[in-house]
Amino acid sequence: MLSRRGVLFASLAAGAAMTSKAHARAAQPATPINFEVPAHACDCHTHIHGDVEKFPFFAGRVYTPEPASPEEMAALHKALHIERVVIVTPSVYGTDNSSTLFGMKARGATARGVAVIDDKTTEAQLDTMQQEGFRGIRLNLATGGVNDPNVGRPRFTAAVERMKARGWHVQLYTTLAMISAIKDLVETAPVAVVFDHFGGLEASLGLEQPGFADLVALVKSGKAYVKISGAYRSSKLAPDYQDMVPYAQALIAANADRIVWGTDWPHPDSSHVEGRKPTDIAPLYQIDDGRLLNQLPVWAPDADVRKKILVDNPARLYGF
């Protein structure tokens, strides 16, 4: 018998399936999953783009995504056989985490959130966010073009200082060059540090590219987690991104206890496009997440290792 939450999840997925052809633009899996996904698996990197009338975008954003609803996300995860989710506030909302919270409430106890904050965010607000299921904050040092270590280092240090008493992690969307520049700070950080999307590596540059060894070392030492997510952001070899295999395998081999997986759904396009203004709609990438998830057994052939990546590590990091 389905639980009340199971009934809700199924109804959300059904609703999305009924309306997707008419309204949805966020991608849905086209490829069936070809391996056994363990119970309580978690998609550790997603976003919700709610109704713009209810959840207006940040005026200083650099792109404007199409909508992506909790119902569409439910349909995605039903197809992927994934129960748990981590919803991350994207840069387009600034420090307004309400669209993320909207998505979390739709999923209930199977959802956690990663927020964006600033100096004006009070401790009382963080207390409330903790009760709501937020477990970390995100520093975006990539979409906003923050590539200067003289900016990145103090921002990272300030974030760690705020989080250390709370026990939240600090998540970074950045580049390998920045990871090298803050490596010493990560090594001594009293909180967990999480790097998005393979640490921002470029697949075409090879395993010897500057910064990748630093990323591997941080993972190996246990000082950092890496999301093996958004492979299409590092590789141009769609649809399977075969050139990502050695990177995923190197990171997993370094320390399987510090790897988590995510879709990066609904796959927003934050890239600079000539002639496209920040207020123009940037169509979502149409990525086949079924095909992406089917890469995990290629990256991690051992089922016990996949369970760590999909279940055990997210449970530890996000407090499921």
Phi and psi angles of residue 84, each rounded to the nearest 5 degrees, phi first: -105, 160
128-145, pLDDT tens digit by residue? 999 999 999 999 876 655
For residues 142, 199, 112, 167, the Cα torsion angle rounded to the nearest 10 degrees is -100
CA distances 314 to 84, 112, 227, 266, 300, Å, are 9, 10, 10, 20, 16
Domain 4-20+39-318 adopts which CATH fold? TIM Barrel (3.20.20)
72-119, pLDDT tens digit by residue? 999 999 999 999 999 999 999 999 999 999 999 999 999 999 999 999
Confidence of residue 150 (pLDDT cuts 50, 70, 90): confident
- The residues near 287 (Cβ < 8 Å, ≥ 6 apart) are 27, 232, 263, 264, 265, 267
67-79, pLDDT tens digit by residue? 999 999 999 999 9
Q: Which residue has the tokens 């949805």?
A: 24
201-211, pLDDT tens digit by residue? 999 999 999 99
CA distances 122 to 101, 103, 125, 145, Å, are 17, 23, 5, 26
Total residue count of the chain as it appears in this document? 320
Q: Report yes or no: 294 and 29 within 8 Å, Cβ to Cβ.
A: no
E runs forming strands in 159-262: 169-173, 193-195, 224-229, 259-262
Residue spans of the domains in the chain: they are 4-20+39-318
Give the model's pLDDT for residue 15. Answer: 45
175-203, pLDDT tens digit by residue? 999 999 999 999 999 999 999 999 999 99
Helices (H), 29-97: 70-80
Nearest CA among 125, 120, 140 for reference residue 47: 140
Task: Report the chain's mean pLDDT, rounded to a whole number.
Answer: 91
Nearest CA among 305, 314, 266, 278 for reference residue 70: 266
pLDDT at 21 over 60: no
Side-chain-side CA neighbours of residue 118 (13 Å): 7
